[in-house]
Amino acid sequence: MRGPAWLRASLPAFLGLLLAVGCSSSGALRTVLEESLRLRIDAAGLDPREVELPFRLTPEMREWVRNTVKLGGSAEERLQRLLRHLLLRDGQTLVYQSGHTGTAQEVWETRRANCLAFTHLYVGMARELELPVYYLRVTDLQSYERDGDLVIASEHITAAYGPASQRRVLDFSDRPVTSYHAVQPISDLTAVALYYSNRGAELIRDGHSAEALRALEIAVALDPELPDGWVNYGVALRRKGRSAEAERAYRRALELDPRQSAAYQNLAALLRLQGREREAQDLLALTVRGSSRNPFSYLALGDLSLREGRLEEAERFYRRALRLEPELAEPHAALGLWALAAGREREARSWLRKAEKLDPESPRVDELARRIRSLQPG
């Protein structure tokens, strides 16, 4: 493995760098990638002509990158040249500006960008240079913005090149230089969904509720597994007075990622407005112990759903816990208790047998056994 290689470009109000951290990308051409993306957008039930691809370049931009950065040299040399020329184009500095997620074309015209907007520009330009750059989600960095009693969520996204052992990561941020510990490559489809999620959040903040709602409908249609999209969609729905749908959106976000503190807070605020204070308090108590890889977070959420009579939701949470830790007795016992609540005594007994083999001393297993015994005739 090669040692870390850094490229720094320190300019006022932002940081641009390439760094080595510990995904592979495919060497597809830009046109092939865009056609594949159009097919996936169509499969999501949306008209590809009505979905903006934020990394798309104009003919002028394509000509500039080919003439200025050029195709020659190694991949790393082209990555470095591209970064340098984008940060200081024609003697004018590119400025970091939070609060607006622009497209590559908007960044080009305004010379202002946040992290996701600059990533769209860099991805589009790099692919024009035949460099298969891909998007990378930094899961240990997440941003939240409060608007009244609502919380809007956004994630930190960067561009990357190369396999895991020699990955080069572009970062454009107002945060201090740091090494990332939790990164995840994402598809172009998810990157477009994140663009719409961010834009929706910004439109909410600016008071454009109808436009925000449409942007967020697109976000969750493109990527139904995007927690931030569901959080922001819930905020937009509540702004339009659609409380029941907002609640479902927040719960969907929690189902996808129990660490979503914005979803907890927004859902708790909604429940309080509806007079469901106890449930709101229970939700807020869970915010301190959420982890998407922690089965006990899903068990706690399942318990809350079961207590409130939402059996389908409880089963989904319990089964997620089981998938994470199939050798743990608690998810088996939890599903047994769920089966009893659903009137499925035979299924509950089956879950009890599995749970007792794993840990007969577990309190949850003991509770399931006691409830099943109470069903037997005296």
Alpha helices in the chain (DSSP H): 30-43, 59-68, 75-87, 104-110, 115-128, 188-205, 209-222, 227-239, 243-256, 261-273, 277-286, 295-307, 311-324, 329-341, 345-358, 363-375
Contact between 162 and 168 under an 8 Å Cβ cutoff? The reply is yes
pLDDT grade for 320, boundaries at 50, 70 and 90: very high
Closest CA to 335 of 327, 290, 324, 350: 350
**Which whole number is the average pLDDT over 123-134?**
91
Least confident of 14-18, 115-119, 252-256, 354-358: 14-18
| Pairing between β-strand 112-113 and β-strand 95-96 as defined by DSSP bridges | parallel
Least confident of 140-144, 217-221, 335-339: 140-144
Least confident of 172-181, 220-229, 273-282, 287-296: 172-181
The answer, yes or no, to whether residue 250 has pLDDT greater than 90, is: yes
Q: What is the pLDDT of residues 130-175, one digit of tens each?
A: 888 999 887 655 555 555 555 555 567 888 888 877 778 876 655 4
pLDDT of residue 247: 97
Q: Which residue has the higher pLDDT, 155 or 94?
A: 94
Q: Which residue has the higher pLDDT, 55 or 297?
A: 55
367 within some domain:
no
Query: Residue 172's domain spans which residues?
Result: 7-253
184 within some domain:
yes
Residue 186 phi/psi, 5-degree rounding, is -125, 155
33 within some domain:
yes
105 within some domain:
yes
Give me the torsion for CA of 291, 294, 297, 302, rounded to 10°. 130
pLDDT of residue 177: 47
Question: For the chain, what's the residue count?
Answer: 378
**Which whole number is the average pLDDT over 273-283?**
88
321 within some domain:
no
219-223, 296-300, 362-366: range with highest mean pLDDT: 219-223
CA distance 255 to 234: 14
354 within some domain:
no
Q: Which residue has the higher pLDDT, 73 or 303?
A: 303
Q: What is the pLDDT of residues 9-64, one digit of tens each?
A: 333 333 445 554 433 333 345 788 899 999 999 999 999 999 999 999 999 999 99
**Which whole number is the average pLDDT over 258-266?**
84
The answer, yes or no, to whether residue 288 has pLDDT greater than 90, is: no
Percent of the chain past pLDDT 70, that is, above it, reads 83
Q: What is the mean pLDDT of the chain?
A: 84
309 within some domain:
no
278 within some domain:
no
pLDDT of residue 10: 32
**Which whole number is the average pLDDT over 255-259?**
87
Q: What is the count of structural domains for the chain?
A: 1
Contact between 114 and 100 under an 8 Å Cβ cutoff? The reply is yes
